[in-house]
Structure 1
């Protein structure tokens, strides 16, 4: 009988290990995708939906909308009740002719046009707040874009510093090789190491700024400040197509800041009309009902044939109760005899407010035009510098460094030339990406100032400036419609 050799038993593979391995792979892929995927348009939509300042602006518009019907409403009517008694010793109603119960109602009716003007002032206030709400939304969008491109600059700077630290490792190795062969000095290796540590120190400082920027962006998005954020994408290198004149013209018509100041002028004009209406009196209409009662004595009455004998009988004398109903109506009006210290001063005040609003409108237009010119100049400068870096400075500095590095590795040149050229490459690369980011930041500010809403859906009433009523709340309540 032959026996089969015992085969080693295969170790059973635990299914939990497979599950854990798959889970780790999935989490790693998700984390990598999250780290790389940072969509600007999604961030803008999230900010428009969750930013607390925008929510506060919505509440201000809604609060102003509810003040309009209050301004147009009549004053509350007054109801009165009174009683007149004769003497203090006892209740004499019904026993004394002078005791009266009276009830009345009155309603003050402002002079025609006063309530209309008050309502118009409230409407202009709501429209002003609505346009300020639109300006806040555009400013929030611009701020999100600025932080986005600042984050990009920080990430790219860290990458460049790490890359140059690796190059310094190569420089250090070349310095050690030259020292080992007796062709170089040990101080070259020490210098390369020192420069590498300085780059790592700069990278740590940039990481600190990166953490600050992430906290600011999370706060703007309505998130927890420690929420993780991914890596921004590279900014567009395409030239900006709008001209300065186009931006200035568009700002004069579509800038929400300018529109809000225009609405303030209209509100001030409505307040002047309201102040003029205060010179005419208000009328109060009153109506009342009163009742009084009293007793009158009556003489005995004789009843013929009242008894069985056929003779006349009489009833004893007594008192008879009588009631009297009375109605009243009256009209009264205010007499503005102190108009020279009240209504006249109020009119002067409203006219001064109107003048202030007009000056503020002109100052606002000049300020917006100045800001547009400044940001457009920054945009053009960033475009020219980035093009200069990309076409000439960067390629030449890289070539210069490679030649210096090759010469040093071959035993020619010194470490100072290599390190200085590497620093130049580092500075130029950081400046190149920083200028691309500055260009996009300037574009974001320009679009906010000029009221450009490309890719952003604003409430219709706020976008046109013709009233900011019920549609004023639509922008924050429907987040998915914020982006086209």
Structure 2
């Protein structure tokens, strides 16, 4: 097709498309601006009333999650162990009858015939009961810390699944938006093919890429189903309970630096509190093992009832205690065992500190990397790639370039946009994990991304 020099801005009479590159490039500025506005608009959009709220999911999980409810019940049960541990053993009551011979009942006839009653009580060596109660208290505190850690892990898991669900919906939106752009390429290829300027292969290539996007959309729909099922299970709902689309999210505000996070993790992490309570309990067990060198006492009071008359009633008060005669093979070995268990608890605490501080550093690094990549995609790669695509498409419509070049640019644009939202989600997940590690989220209710 020839271009009339007297009509430098003539449209293609067949397709109605602009065939001059400069004009199309200038006109592409407006769709480019519109594209950037619509792409980043969800970052500041307010949540719709019928959307799935992360705050509500967290509240529901704290009330309905079987794991959390089980841990709370176990904590409550452990509190009832404290008064039991501090109580004396049950007293023993004994009664019986002593008769002389087997011929007849001789009570009242023989001085040796009598009814007998006794009551005995075992008293641990002073200090043992208090140590036992203190050890049970430390175990209960450890169980409370475990329940707290479980809550934080559950909240972090709910957040992670929620963000995965959000990402799947966002990717579907992007695919549908870019399918329209592939249709523009297909229309241009059909136009060029109808005028003999392109081969049928270019049309088929554009159509194939469009159908490949549709395939990705179906795979994302399946991912939404599986993620929704896992989210329902984490919250405590039936697996098939319906879930609406998540709210539009904006980047969470996070102003803490590495030093603050490490300090908070060491101070407030429930995982560390569990290990600290285990260490405290092992120290008390060592002291209890040392107390076992000393004997326990059993006091017994006995009353013997005889028939009266010349046969006076009798009573007795006795004390019995165990002798740690085999202390070398029993009590001493128990002390060695308790010391070894205490050393194990010390090393476990140190290992937990290293693991948690390492996890804090790792997630903080992931969060910062995601922020830098988001900035790169948002202000660099995405707008430049879109402009490059529009220019290539305008040139292709004008009869310049090949379909492969336009398709490659559009695929790069799709990839960069998806990578932006993937980094957005990775940043939110890293923040959720940091909250769980430092124990500072208030279960994710305050400051939840709406």
Taking a change above 3 Å as real, the CA distance of residues 455 and 327 of structure 1, as seen in their structure-2 partners, is closer
Structure 1 segment 258-277 matched on structure 2, within 5 A: 258-277=272-291
- TM normalised by structure 2 equals 0.86
- CA drift of 1:265 comes to 0.8
Please list every run of 5 or more consecutive structure 2 residues that lacks an aligned counterpart in the other structure: 1-46
Structure 1 segment 144-223 matched on structure 2, within 5 A: 144-223=158-237
Where 1:324 maps in the other structure, the secondary structure is coil
User: Which residue in 2 is equivalent to 1:240?
Assistant: 254
User: Which residue in 1 is equivalent to 2:43?
Assistant: none
- CA drift of 1:107 comes to 0.5
Where 2:80 maps in the other structure, the secondary structure is helix
**Among candidates 89, 96, 109, match of residue 103 of structure 2:** 89
Structure 1 segment 8-407 matched on structure 2, within 5 A: 36-237=50-251, 240-293=254-307, 322-407=310-395
Assess if the C-alpha contact under 8 Å between 1:239 and 1:383 holds in 2: no
Assess if the C-alpha contact under 8 Å between 1:168 and 1:195 holds in 2: yes
Assess if the C-alpha contact under 8 Å between 1:284 and 1:333 holds in 2: yes
Where 1:158 maps in the other structure, the secondary structure is helix
Q: In 2, distance between residues paired with 1:258 and 1:104?
A: 51
- Alignment deviations for residues 382-412 of structure 1 (CA, whole Å, 9 cap, x no partner): 0000000001000011011111111111221
Range with greater deviation from structure 2 (184-193 or 366-375): 184-193
User: Which residue in 1 is equivalent to 2:44?
Assistant: none
Q: In 1, distance between residues paired with 2:371 and 2:212?
A: 31
Q: In 2, distance between residues paired with 1:369 and 1:257?
A: 12
- CA drift of 1:82 comes to 2.0
User: Which residue in 1 is equivalent to 2:33?
Assistant: none
C-alpha root-mean-square deviation of aligned residues, in Å? Answer: 1.8
Taking a change above 3 Å as real, the CA distance of residues 116 and 175 of structure 1, as seen in their structure-2 partners, is same
- CA drift of 1:322 comes to 4.3
Assess if the C-alpha contact under 8 Å between 2:364 and 2:434 holds in 1: yes
Taking a change above 3 Å as real, the CA distance of residues 127 and 404 of structure 1, as seen in their structure-2 partners, is same
User: Which residue in 2 is equivalent to 1:418?
Assistant: 406
- Alignment deviations for residues 295-352 of structure 1 (CA, whole Å, 9 cap, x no partner): xxxxxxxxxxxxxxxxxxxxxxxxxx64421111111111111111211111111111
Q: In 2, distance between residues paired with 1:441 and 1:238?
A: 10
- CA drift of 1:445 comes to 0.3
- Alignment deviations for residues 69-113 of structure 1 (CA, whole Å, 9 cap, x no partner): 111110110111122221122221111222222111111111111
Where 2:313 maps in the other structure, the secondary structure is strand
Q: In 1, distance between residues paired with 2:385 and 2:105?
A: 111
Q: In 1, distance between residues paired with 2:65 and 2:280?
A: 30
Where 1:62 maps in the other structure, the secondary structure is helix
Q: Which runs of 4+ in 1 moved over 4 A?
A: 454-458
Q: In 2, distance between residues paired with 1:256 and 1:98?
A: 67
- CA drift of 1:456 comes to 5.2
User: Which residue in 2 is equivalent to 1:451?
Assistant: 439
- TM normalised by structure 1 equals 0.80
User: Which residue in 1 is equivalent to 2:16?
Assistant: none
User: Which residue in 2 is equivalent to 1:465?
Assistant: none
Where 1:328 maps in the other structure, the secondary structure is strand
1:432 and 2:446 matched? no
